[in-house]
């Protein structure tokens, strides 16, 4: 028999993330949600972490939750306490971002980025999230990933009109990433 999983209400936090308290078979698991994705503390057993992450993802979809609003509140709280943004935009100086991006059918933008001879793809979603991908992660460092993300954010935030013409909600990206 499978343990019961319940998801608590979203709690925007001063670090810019949104916390969900998830009960997995009597144990509370803290799941954080940010524009970079979902996170669970490393000390949580893998099975519990997976069940909690899936439960939060399904809860958001089932409840038609407006996570953008919760993320905006968390970003405002982060700025009020003068905490750093999730990505240091100055790290993007080594990134070569190919523009224009590919506009996906749902309005998301896909950028090709080269950092130190490595090609990555960075997807900006309509709800403020950023997802990176690469054909071969073996030669990619954390610094390269941050440079690619920061490079794309610099491109879209430096020219609001151009980014709006691509269909991007520039104010949302400013709210979440600055």
Which 3 state secondary structure label does DSSP give 27?
Answer: strand
Across all residues in the chain, what is the average pLDDT?
92
Tell me which residue range forms the domain holding 36. 5-80
- Segment 115-120 mean pLDDT: 93
| Boundary (domain end) residue, out of 26, 57, 80 | 80
Q: Do 27 and 104 have their domain in common?
A: no
Q: Do 75 and 27 have their domain in common?
A: yes
Q: In what order do the strands lie in the sheet with 96-103?
A: 96-103, 109-115, 118-124, 130-133
- Comparing 127 with 172, which gets the higher pLDDT? 172
| Boundary (domain end) residue, out of 80, 107, 128 | 80
Q: In total, how many domains does the chain have?
A: 2
Single out the residue of 19, 8, 7, 1 nearest to residue 51, CA to CA.
7
pLDDT for the residue 149: 95
Query: Does the structure show a pLDDT above 80 at 51?
Result: yes
Report the percentage of the chain scoring pLDDT > 90.
75
Distances 101 to 1, 121, 135 between C-alpha atoms, Å: 48, 10, 18
Q: pLDDT tens digits, residue range 131-145?
A: 999 999 999 999 999
Q: Do 75 and 109 have their domain in common?
A: no
Q: Do 45 and 120 have their domain in common?
A: no
Please list the residues that pair with 113 across neighbouring strands.
97, 120
Q: How confident is the model at residue 8 (pLDDT cuts 50, 70, 90)?
A: very high
Q: How confident is the model at residue 65 (pLDDT cuts 50, 70, 90)?
A: low
Q: Do 95 and 75 have their domain in common?
A: no
Distances 83 to 12, 15, 79, 80, 88 between C-alpha atoms, Å: 14, 7, 6, 8, 12
Q: Do 76 and 93 have their domain in common?
A: no
Q: pLDDT tens digits, residue range 12-24?
A: 999 999 999 999 9
Whether the bond into 100 is cis, omega within 30 of 0: yes
Q: Do 166 and 98 have their domain in common?
A: yes
Using an 8 Å Cβ cutoff, are 5 and 52 in contact? yes
Q: Do 114 and 45 have their domain in common?
A: no
- pTM value is 0.84
Q: Do 35 and 107 have their domain in common?
A: no
Dihedral sign, Cα of residue 169, residue 125, residue 60, residue 46: negative
Q: pLDDT tens digits, residue range 70-88?
A: 999 999 999 999 999 989 8
Query: Does the structure show a pLDDT above 50 at 1?
Result: no
């Amino acid at each position: 028999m499978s343990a019961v999983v319940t998801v608590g209400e979203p709690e925007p936090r001063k670090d810019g993330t949104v916390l969900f308290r998830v009960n997995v078979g009597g144990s509370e698991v803290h799941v954080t949600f940010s524009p970079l994705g979902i996170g669970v503390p490393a000390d949580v057993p893998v099975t519990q972490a997976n069940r909690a992450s899936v439960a939060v993802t399904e809860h958001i979809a089932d409840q038609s939750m407006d996570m953008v609003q919760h993320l905006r509140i968390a970003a405002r709280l982060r700025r009020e306490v003068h905490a750093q943004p999730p990505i240091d935009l100055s790290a993007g100086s080594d990134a070569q971002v190919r523009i224009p991006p590919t506009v996906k059918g749902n309005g998301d933008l896909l950028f090709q980025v080269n950092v130190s001879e490595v090609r990555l793809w960075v997807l900006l979603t309509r709800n403020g999230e950023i997802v990176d991908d690469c054909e071969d992660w073996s030669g990619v460092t954390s610094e390269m990933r941050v440079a690619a993300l920061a490079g794309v954010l610099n491109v879209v935030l430096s020219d609001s009109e151009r980014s709006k013409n691509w269909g991007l909600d520039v104010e949302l990206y400013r709210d979440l990433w600055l």
